[in-house]
Structure 1
Amino acid sequence: MKLIRHMSLTTRIGLLFFLVAIFTFIAVGTYLYRSLFNQLEYRDDQELIGKITLMRHLVEESGSSAAIRANPHAFLDAAAHHDRLIVMLKEMNGETILHTNADQGHLPVISVLPADMAVTQKAITLLWTSHGLAARAIATKSRLMNGEQILIVVARTASDRMELLKAYRMEVWIAALAGTLLVAISGYFLVRRGLRPLRMIAAQARSVTAHKLDKRLDIASAPQELHDLVQAFNAMLDRLDSSFQRLSQFSADLAHDLRTPINNLMVQTQVALVQARSVEDYQTLLISNVEEYERLARMVESMLFLARAEHTHVVVNKSVVSLAEELQRIADYFEGLAEEAGVRIAVHAQGKVYADAILLRRALGNLVANAIRYTPRGEVISLHGETRTDGATIRIVNPGPGIATEHIPHLFDRFYRADAARSNTASSAGLGLAIVQSIMTLHGGKVAVRSEKDGLTVFALIFPAK
């Protein structure tokens, strides 16, 4: 089995061709041989029946056993031209009257047909002579003209037809072996030629590297049976290319976002070390450094959460949660921040949602924080919650400048910021919406966004039913 597993597909199919061919040729050859053997045996048996019938007729026309001994020519002429034919005439006391071809050996005792019974093929017996020759024989009684009965035995050790059959059997084996080899060799080359498109596809696949993820397999050059495979492989390359692009962008964005707080820490510390400072200056420096450390900690914690959520390592403890209570809890939590921004938060909710309360609060917190950041002073942020038969939906609606259409498809990418002017602020690391999407994925739901320029921006969290 190990040897077969290490064989190429061409060799395996060629070997299967060989096995199928040899079994087919053996089966057909055996069938033809047996069919011819049965036909020749039947003809020999009919000839044997004819001979013993003739011998019985000659005996019936003979006057006595002494007359047969005196003039056996009629019997010898009947057995002439058959050098393998044995004819024995015996008296009932066992004395031999006639025995042709005695050099082929004596015959054992076999069953004898009565004189008045017709001779049929069923009476023929397969036996071995005293010289070890296989023979087919038939024995019957016959009555002389004087009323005396004698025993007639006719046997045949082999016929010319059976000798020809032996040669034919050898030719069948030679033809079967030659045909098997021819089919196996031709099958191997035909399979190799038939698998040529597969080797071409493999060569195209080998040309795809990390620097050439934009290359795709040519489906036009592939046979129909491989179209699904080629399409699946190209789809996999599309996913890999997209993931690689996101990874590259993620690495660049991560380096950019980490560089800012690290540079701040380094520059501030270097400036403080240029000369001696007062205690108040050092305290101010430490406070500023703590803010940068907190920013780094939030960024690392968010990245860790996204990584764990992506590999489903975040435990989701779902339960039935009241929409009104959870949305009011979020409104109360952000009340102080909303007052500073000059906006108000209104809750309109009813029903329940089947979700993890902690993860739900985190997702809502990120969305409400963004809404407060972009809502003009004096406006109202609305939190809506409703339950339907297919699940529950939470909407965070806020007026503002809106989100440009070209930014919407990328809003949930990590480190993506639609507002370039705020790309370096400490208030946002560009991971909040990515976390929201991961939380909804963990719940089996989805997040949707709709925005109008200088109008309403709506983020919808759609949860499936319990």
Structure 2
Amino acid sequence: MSERRHSLAWRLALAVAVVCSLVMSVVAVFLYRSLAAEIAYRDDIALLGRLEQVRTLLHDSDSLGALQQRPQLYQNMLGNQESVLRVRRADGSVVFEINPHGETLGDPPRIGLARRPSRADIRLDHGASLLAGDAVGPAGEALTVMVGKRLHEREAILASYRLRLYLAVAAGALLAWVIGLLLVRRALTPLREMADALALIDLRNLHRRLADTAAPVELQAPIQALNGMLVRLEQGFERLSQFSADLAHEIRTPLHNLLGSTGQALNQPRSVDEYRELLGSNIEEYERLNRMVENLLFLARADHGQRPVHLQAIDLTHLGEELCDYFQLLADERGAALQHALHGTLQTDLQLLQRALGNLLANAVRHARPGTTVLLSRHDEAGFVGLTVRNEGDTIAPEHLARLFDRFFRVDPSRTEPGDSGGLGLAIVQSIMVLVGGSVSVHSAEGVTSFTLSFPDKGALES
């Protein structure tokens, strides 16, 4: 019963039944009132005609005595057991009265001879409709005539009709619910087919998609959204698989070095200097693993929005000088020069900006050609402030440009150096720009490579 209560088909079928019941109820009320009004109208018209007939009969009779001796005539004229008739003299004495059920009859207002009776003159009294009027008997005698009809027969007819309407509405509601349930279940067949198709999709066949060609118009948008979600899931799973493989590869190298050097040291006794050299080499590998773990933690926090952004006005000139001083030693080792042309201020997170520019500068210095200059500059475009790191070196192939910001990706995997980011530096730059609401782009041609950090104009304060 719980499943039925929460079933969409049952709810829709119930809604159809309720709507049909309301419509049929309105129609039933209309038909009932129309029938009641029609019966009342016919009874009233018959009562008006009966008053005129009795008046005419009394006026054309030879004597009242003859009329009193022929009561069957009046009963045949009235036609049924529900009609009543009473004729009185001016002194109130009854000439004759036909009242099959012996009910107490009231005295409605009389209608004069000069006025034609209407439906408004009919009064309801003691479960009967009554109409009274003056009449002229034989020899001009003043009389009072009252005609009427009991309402019991009318009420019985309407009660029977009312019961039939109740039964018709109830049967119609039940039929509407059954038919509605069948139609809704048939209409929901595409949803069940879509659910069955989704149930067949797992990690081994994420490439499968839902077909929307034969689907109803209302389901095409959800199917397209689900297919888009499947595309994103497939891409995300592929990236996760590649990331896991790359992570295993990156961790295996330092661990292999640590195990190999430590194993060799344990094979035979070593001098203190040899142990010191071994420990120093191991420290480098530990530092490499530590940097990798810290970078991965930063990326994980950035991806889940756990790294808060603290906006502040940053002096770009001062920041450029600090970065050049910090990387000057590395540049000297490469035989390259550092230069910055930053100016103005920028509203963003200082630590994130330092890390992003630091990663780009470290990458640019490592790949710069000896004797060239690594330039850090600023340029403003429509709606954006751009900070660019430019170096001269090997041109990056177009097929590699799209993957530069992938985690653990290296253009030359064999080229690893102490202090590098383990292939995570550019991925961190991209995550930082997503955090601050900006973007990063790269361009490489004719031996010149430029990385540009673009900040929206709301981040720029002044030039």
TM-score normalized with structure 2 length: 0.91
Partner of 2:461: none
CA distance in structure 1 between the partners assigned to 2:379 and 2:4 by the alignment: 59
Q: 1:425, CA displacement in angstroms?
A: 6.6
Partner of 2:452: 460
Q: 1:66, CA displacement in angstroms?
A: 4.9
Partner of 2:222: 229
Q: Secondary structure at the match of 1:211?
A: helix
Partner of 2:336: 343
Asked if the contact 1:201/1:222 (under 8 Å) is kept, the reply is: no
Partner of 1:52: 51
What RMSD in Å do the two structures reach over aligned CA positions? 2.5
Q: Which piece of structure 1 moves more, 13-22 or 180-189?
A: 180-189
Partner of 2:77: 78
Q: 1:173, CA displacement in angstroms?
A: 3.6
Q: 1:437, CA displacement in angstroms?
A: 0.5
Asked if the contact 1:352/1:392 (under 8 Å) is kept, the reply is: no
Partner of 2:187: 194
Asked if the contact 2:338/2:375 (under 8 Å) is kept, the reply is: yes
Of 328, 337, 352, the residue aligned with 1:359 is 352
1:328 aligns with 2:321: yes
Q: Which piece of structure 1 moves more, 230-239 or 342-351?
A: 342-351
Partner of 1:39: 38
Q: 1:29, CA displacement in angstroms?
A: 2.1
Cα pair distance change 1:224/1:426, threshold 3 Å: same
CA distance in structure 1 between the partners assigned to 2:20 and 2:380 by the alignment: 69
Q: 1:7, CA displacement in angstroms?
A: 2.7
Q: Secondary structure at the match of 1:421?
A: coil
Q: Which piece of structure 1 moves more, 399-408 or 384-393?
A: 384-393
Of 401, 405, 430, the residue aligned with 1:408 is 401
Partner of 2:378: 385
Partner of 1:286: 279
Cα pair distance change 1:169/1:321, threshold 3 Å: same
Q: 1:236, CA displacement in angstroms?
A: 0.7
CA distance in structure 1 between the partners assigned to 2:339 and 2:432 by the alignment: 24
Q: 1:99, CA displacement in angstroms?
A: 1.5
Asked if the contact 2:311/2:348 (under 8 Å) is kept, the reply is: yes
CA distance in structure 1 between the partners assigned to 2:101 and 2:308 by the alignment: 100
Q: 1:420, CA displacement in angstroms?
A: 2.1
Cα pair distance change 1:229/1:20, threshold 3 Å: same
Q: Secondary structure at the match of 2:129?
A: strand
Partner of 2:134: 141
Asked if the contact 1:345/1:382 (under 8 Å) is kept, the reply is: yes
Q: Which piece of structure 1 moves more, 418-427 or 117-126?
A: 418-427
Asked if the contact 1:52/1:153 (under 8 Å) is kept, the reply is: yes
Q: 1:76, CA displacement in angstroms?
A: 4.5
Unmatched tracts of structure 1, length 5 or more = 129-133
CA distance in structure 1 between the partners assigned to 2:444 and 2:454 by the alignment: 17
Cα pair distance change 1:424/1:360, threshold 3 Å: closer
Partner of 1:440: 433
Asked if the contact 2:284/2:418 (under 8 Å) is kept, the reply is: no
CA distance in structure 2 between the partners assigned to 1:96 and 1:418 by the alignment: 126
Q: 1:147, CA displacement in angstroms?
A: 5.2
Identity %: 39
TM-score normalized with structure 1 length: 0.91
Asked if the contact 1:58/1:74 (under 8 Å) is kept, the reply is: no
Cα pair distance change 1:214/1:73, threshold 3 Å: closer
Asked if the contact 2:64/2:138 (under 8 Å) is kept, the reply is: no
Unmatched tracts of structure 2, length 5 or more = 459-463
Q: 1:405, CA displacement in angstroms?
A: 0.9
1:5-404 superposed matches below 5 A:
6-62=5-61, 66=65, 68-70=67-69, 75-79=74-78, 81-128=79-126, 134-144=127-137, 146=139, 148-158=141-151, 167-388=160-381, 390-404=383-397
Asked if the contact 2:403/2:409 (under 8 Å) is kept, the reply is: yes
Asked if the contact 2:21/2:169 (under 8 Å) is kept, the reply is: yes
Cα pair distance change 1:191/1:351, threshold 3 Å: same
Q: Secondary structure at the match of 2:432?
A: helix
1:417 aligns with 2:410: yes
